[in-house]
Amino acid sequence: MQLTLVQLEQHAGDVDGNRDRAVDAVERAAARGADLVALPELWNVGYFAFDSYAREAESVEGPTLTELSALAERLDVGLLAGSIVEDLAASAEAGVDVPAEEGFANTAVFFDREGRRRGIYRKHHLFGYGSAETRLLTPGEHLPTVDFEGFTLGFTTCYDLRFPELYRELTEQGATLVLVPSAWPYPRVEHWQTLSRARAIENLSYVATVNGSATFDDGTLLGRSTVYDPWGTTLASAGDDPALVTAEVTPDQVARVRDEFPAWEDRRQ
């Protein structure tokens, strides 16, 4: 299966332009043979555009995700639509299960090749270090997995990388490929790379981290979107400029690594 991470150029205050760039990038990825495409965290508003969160929030059935659902169907790709600021009240009105009847969440949605919404993941661990996220957003409660092309997909978001128990829970649910939409800023390059690789090694699974490419008043995203295999080996990566990061991933590789190095058999609880 060909996996493509969209390291997207983003501009604060340019939601329409960001959406156009995202659609164009997904179309280019599909034209190059992608089966599964992933967008970064809060790519439409920009992570650091905190003043825009309430204004740009929408339901998971709102215009942004409706467009991306149709895009996945038209291009015949699986699509992790990155994450958006979800208006929880609007989603509740649409009949969607939500963690709170009002407020906002950092919400990632996965669509299959038919454009069907198969998974909703709301960021569990909200970033409090120099960020307004903990004040503005409601954390998620559910940890979904989705079967796609022989993989069991799991989803986490950015800061979640610092909490290994989340990844072990996904693995215990059968996850073999975890997609991590992110907005990881400079200067913590070593943290970004080390934590991502560690999550792959610990769980003997693929981990694919898709970051943005942008400079805001409060920070600059460091890019470096990367696909790690179950050994923690880098299969494909980028610098800090906009890019399509593509790697071939196979479910059989996860099984082979877990058979060859059955570390879980030595685990004590």
Taking only the tens place, the pLDDT of each residue in 178-235 is 999 999 999 999 999 999 999 999 999 999 999 999 888 878 999 999 999 999 999 9
CB 22 within 8 A of CB 5: no
| Dihedral over Cα of 199, 23, 183, 156: its sign | negative
CB 72 within 8 A of CB 99: no
Active site residue 73: no
Beta-carbon contacts of 156 under 8 Å, excluding residues fewer than 6 positions away, are 121, 123, 124, 166, 167, 170, 178, 180
What is the per-residue pLDDT across 179-188, written as a single tens digit (0 to 9) for each? 999 999 999 9
The whole domain housing 211 covers: 2-260
In a domain, 214, yes or no: yes
Active site residue 58: no
Overall number of domains in the chain: 1
Active site residue 41: yes
CATH number of the domain residue 182 falls in: 3.60.110.10
pTM: 0.97
What is the per-residue pLDDT across 49-71, written as a single tens digit (0 to 9) for each? 999 999 999 999 999 999 999 99
Nearest to 110 by CA among 138, 149, 163, 139: 149
In a domain, 269, yes or no: no
Q: Tell me how far the alpha carbon of residue 14 is from its chain's centroid.
A: 21
Hey, is 207 helix, strand or coil? strand
Single out the catalytic residue among 41, 58, 86, 133.
41
Single out the catalytic residue among 9, 56, 123, 133.
123
In a domain, 268, yes or no: no
